[in-house]
Structure 1
Amino acid sequence: MTEVAALSVARTLDRCTVLGPGARAVIWVQGCPLRCRGCVAAETLPFEGGTTHEVSELADWLCELPGIEGVTLSGGEPFAQASALAALLDHVRSRRPEFTAMAYSGFRYETLRRGEWDRRALLRRLDLLVDGPYVASAQHGLRWRGSANQRVIALTDRYAHVATEPDRSAGVEVSMEADGSLSWAGVPPTPGFREGLEERLAARGFVLRAEARREA
């Protein structure tokens, strides 16, 4: 596999418990070729912007995080930077073999399986995939995903048990950054969540950072 040395990243989070099983790091990539109506992370859609990170830098960061079992890849569209993400997972697992990987994609699993070599390479390295475009009219407060058309697909035995667990919203987490600003992560349980949250926070004098979240 030809390794890509860098990733365009919208945001990272050291620890999250609402975007996949257990405690996980999260990487939101910058750029998405899809334009799902109502996407709650619209700032991650343009391929312009974001911050460039070396794959080795991100691997060091993930390997040094204590108390997490894996990483969730979101965005943006992770499969638009599939080669670099596959290389990242290889780097991390050479040092932490038990490290798990979950990804969101607006593409269907079947499409990814028939896709270019880099998308198939990333798919082979995942334990869990949430697939399909976000459809606002099908939002029902489901676990880890924004709308009922999306699926949680276990790609290895590591997370085969998730299919038997309750399918209800995992909620969202709000974090305060070192500069005093607030950010949040998770799959909103209802349409319009972001706008409502920003309005309520603004009324109390808080500003929400314009960073990447996940609904699709």
Structure 2
Amino acid sequence: MKETRRLSVARRLDRCTVLGPGTRAVIWVQGCPLRCQGCVAAETLPFEGGDEHSVDQLADWLCGLPDVEGVTLSGGEPFAQAGPLASLIDAVRVRRPDFGAMAYSGFRYEALLRGDPDRRALLRRLDLLVDGPYVASARHGLRWRGSSNQRVIALTGRHDHLETGPDTSAGVELSVAADGSLSWAGVPPTPGFRESFEKRLAARGFVLRAEVRRKA
């Protein structure tokens, strides 16, 4: 695996219960080579922008979060920064060996298996993968997925019990940052959800700044 120690990050969230099992941290990376029609996080697609963080900085942040069982990697496209993300998971597990890892990818699992060494290295470190491009015309309202063509793939035995759970939307969560800015996280249950949701918030006096609008 190529040793890379820096990541371009669009956003971080220290606690989330709608993007994977349990309570998790979330890292949205900046940049995606795909252009899925109807992408709800278009601001994360350009590789320009985002905040640069070292692997060590992010590992310290994750290890300092209490009562968090793991991290969910989203974006953007995590496998476009697979090398540093694999290094990040390794750095965290030195201190927290049971720390879980889940990722979203617009690429299919089978394609990632044929990918370069960095992509295969990241796959080996994940417990769960949600794979495949977002398809606006496919069925919505599913657990942790934007459309029914996407799959939740267990890569370890950590979450075997999830196969018996309901395959329904986990919903979305609102978060207020220390500076008072409002953001939301989750997989929208219906097409056009983001626009409708943000209009309703604005009608009540809550305006989400563009730089903090993100999703999985």
By the TM > 0.5 criterion, same fold? yes
Contact 2:184/2:215, CA 8 A, preserved across alignment: no
Residue matched to 1:170: 170
Residue matched to 1:156: 156
- Alignment map for 1:54-73 (pairs within 5 Å): 54-73=54-73
How many residues are aligned here? 215
- Alignment map for 1:22-171 (pairs within 5 Å): 22-171=22-171
Q: Does 1:186 align with 2:153?
A: no
- Report the alpha carbon displacement of residue 146 of structure 1 after superposing the two structures with TM: 0.1
Task: Measure the CA separation in 1 of the matches of 2:215 and 2:164.
Answer: 24
* RMSD over equivalenced CA pairs, Å: 0.9
Task: Measure the CA separation in 1 of the matches of 2:104 and 2:121.
Answer: 15
Task: Measure the CA separation in 2 of the matches of 1:169 and 1:178.
Answer: 28
Task: Measure the CA separation in 1 of the matches of 2:95 and 2:178.
Answer: 30
Contact 2:15/2:23, CA 8 A, preserved across alignment: yes
The farther-off stretch of 3-12 and 171-180 is 171-180
Q: Which runs of 5+ in 2 are unaligned?
A: none
Contact 2:73/2:102, CA 8 A, preserved across alignment: yes
Contact 2:19/2:187, CA 8 A, preserved across alignment: yes
Task: Measure the CA separation in 1 of the matches of 2:214 and 2:10.
Answer: 10
- Report the alpha carbon displacement of residue 176 of structure 1 after superposing the two structures with TM: 1.5
- Report the alpha carbon displacement of residue 177 of structure 1 after superposing the two structures with TM: 1.9
Q: Which runs of 5+ in 1 are unaligned?
A: none
Residue matched to 1:214: 215
Q: TM (normalized to structure 1)?
A: 0.97
Question: Which secondary structure state, in structure 1, belongs to the residue aligned with residue 194 of structure 2?
Answer: helix
Question: Which secondary structure state, in structure 2, belongs to the residue aligned with residue 175 of structure 1?
Answer: strand
Question: Which secondary structure state, in structure 1, belongs to the residue aligned with residue 214 of structure 2?
Answer: coil
Query: Identity rate of aligned residues, in percent?
Result: 79
- Report the alpha carbon displacement of residue 53 of structure 1 after superposing the two structures with TM: 0.2
Task: Measure the CA separation in 1 of the matches of 2:10 and 2:22.
Answer: 23
Give the direction of change, closer, same or farther, for the CA distance of 1:132–1:212 in structure 2 (3 Å limit).
Answer: farther
- Report the alpha carbon displacement of residue 194 of structure 1 after superposing the two structures with TM: 0.8
The farther-off stretch of 84-93 and 193-202 is 193-202
Question: Which secondary structure state, in structure 2, belongs to the residue aligned with residue 94 of structure 1?
Answer: helix
Task: Measure the CA separation in 2 of the matches of 1:212 and 1:42.
Answer: 10
- Report the alpha carbon displacement of residue 179 of structure 1 after superposing the two structures with TM: 2.3
Paired residue type of 1:113: L
Give the direction of change, closer, same or farther, for the CA distance of 1:110–1:187 in structure 2 (3 Å limit).
Answer: same
Paired residue type of 2:193: F
